Amino acid sequence: MPEYPDIVVYIEALERRIQGRTLKCVRLGSPFLLRTAVPPISSVEGKKVVQLRRLGKRICIGLEEDLWLVLHLMIAGRLHWKEHQTSKTSPAKMAVSKTHLAAFEFNNGTLSLTEAGTQRRASLHLVVTEADLRSLDPGGHEIFASTQSSDREEAPAFMDLYRFAAVLQSANHTLKRALTDPRLLSGIGNAYSDEILFEARLSPIKLTQKLTAEELERLYLATRSTLVQWVERLRAETGTGFPEKVTAFREGMAVHGRYQLPCPRCGAKIRRIRYATNETNYCPVCQTGGKLLADRALSRILRDDWPKTAEELG
C-alpha cells in the first residue's frame, strides 16, 4: 500500500500536471470504485483543480466549488499519467476496464487508476466542503507539521518528541501495531514501519508502554529520519517524471521484503512474522537479541520443534 513517502511524491507529480487544469470528464470502469452517490460524479466535470492534499494514505484533489475527489489506493491501486500529444485532433480516450478502474481526463492529459488482482479495495469518494473531507480522516496525528508538498524546499517540521511519545503510548500496543494504526499516526504502513523499527533497533512486538525514555527517543529519531530519507530518495528517482514504479518492496530497503536475505547491518538472515495477507520483517540479531518471533502459521505446526533463536536455524 502506498504510504507517506509514496503519497507525497504522487501529490508533487500531480501538482506539476493538474494544478490549475480543468477536469473535462471522469470515466469509471467499475461501479464499486465510487463509494458516494451524492453529489453525482458528473458534477466535477468542467471544474478546475485548485488544491492537492494528503489525508493519511489518501490523495485528495480539490476542485472549484469546494468539491473533493478522494482516492484511496489500498494495496494494489496505482496511478498513471499519459500526456496528451500536441495535435489538432482530439486525443484518444484511455480505455477503462476491470483493471483500469477510472480515467480522469484533463485538458493536458489523462490520469488513470489501475488495480492489480481480483480484489477491488481501492476507493473513490466525492465530497463537498472541508467538513465532509475531514469525515474521511481516520484521526491519526500528522507526523509532519505540514501535509502540503509546497513546503518541499525545506524539510517539514516533525512533531515533537513529547507529543510523539504521548500518541504512541496512549494505549499499550505492540510497536508494529501502534506505528501502523491510522487512528494514532497518519501515513505509516507495513513497509515503512519495518524500516523504522530496524533503524531504531527495536522489536516489532515490544509493547509501547514498556519503552524506556531512551528507546522512545530512538524510535522518534528513526521515524523522522526514515520517512524523510525515503521521500528524498523517491523524489530523486522520480525527477520530473511520474512515479510509475510505486511498490512496497524497494531496492535499498533494509528488512522489508528481504526475508532470508542478509541484514545490511550484521549479516544475519532477515526473518518474518506472517499474518493474514501481511508480514513483518525484522533482524533477529539487531532487533530481538537473537530471539526468533513466532510465526503463527509455522509455529502451530512445528510446536516444540519451532526454533527459539537464530542460531538454531543454522
User: What are the structural domain ranges in the chain?
Assistant: 4-137, 150-313
The packing angle between helices 4-18 and 213-238, to 10°, is: 30
| pLDDT, position 113 | 96
pTM: 0.88
d(CA 9, CA 16): 11
pLDDT average, residue stretch 263-281: 90
123-169 pLDDT per residue, tens: 999 999 999 999 999 999 998 865 444 445 555 688 899 999 999 99
d(CA 49, CA 41): 15
59-115 pLDDT per residue, tens: 999 999 999 999 999 988 999 999 987 644 444 565 666 678 999 999 999 999 999
pLDDT average, residue stretch 213-224: 97
pLDDT average, residue stretch 34-47: 96
Q: Which CATH superfamily is domain 4-137 in?
A: MutM-like, N-terminal (3.20.190.10)
Q: Which residue has the higher pLDDT, 181 or 116?
A: 181
pLDDT at residue 314 is higher than 90:
no
Pick the CATH number of 150-313 from 2.60.120.10, 3.50.50.60, 3.30.413.10, 1.10.8.50: 1.10.8.50
| pLDDT, position 147 | 44
E strand or H helix at 129: helix 129-134
CA distances (Å), 190 to each of 13, 21, 34, 196, 249, in order?
A: 24, 34, 26, 10, 11
Beta bridge partners of 126: 69
pLDDT at residue 300 is higher than 70:
no
